[in-house]
Amino acid sequence: MGVHQNDFYRCRVKYVCEDTASTQLEDVYPANTHTVMLNDLRSATKYKVRVMAFNNIGESNYTEEEVVVRTNGEAICSNTRL
């Protein structure tokens, strides 16, 4: 089943702060976007990142594999690109 012009299709990025276990979500549109801006990141902190897709019919599971990233320790990071 393909995506029709009237359907919406998006991705969602879930990132979890390793220090506090707080979870944040960023919806990504358009769906063919190759970068996403993650906001309100803490400096020198590891985050576990997973992705899922959804449209008006339903949603996928989050990826089983998670990517672990670490922010720089220089200053509090906001708007860090992955």
SS3 38: strand
CA–CA distance, 61 with 39 (Å, rounded to integer): 23
In the chain the domains, ranked by start, together with CATH numbers, are: 9-81 (2.60.40.10)
**According to the model, what pLDDT value does residue 77 have?**
45
Cα Dmax for the chain: 47
Please give the model's pTM, rounded to 2 decimal places. Answer: 0.71
CA–CA distance, 78 with 80 (Å, rounded to integer): 6
Q: Are 23 and 50 in contact (CB under 8 A)?
A: no
**According to the model, what pLDDT value does residue 46 have?**
94
2-31 pLDDT, tens per residue?
Answer: 544 445 778 999 999 999 999 999 988 876
E strand or H helix that includes residue 18:
none
44-78 pLDDT, tens per residue?
Answer: 999 999 999 988 889 999 999 999 999 988 644 45
Q: What is the mean pLDDT of residues 37-46?
A: 89
Q: Are 41 and 80 in contact (CB under 8 A)?
A: yes
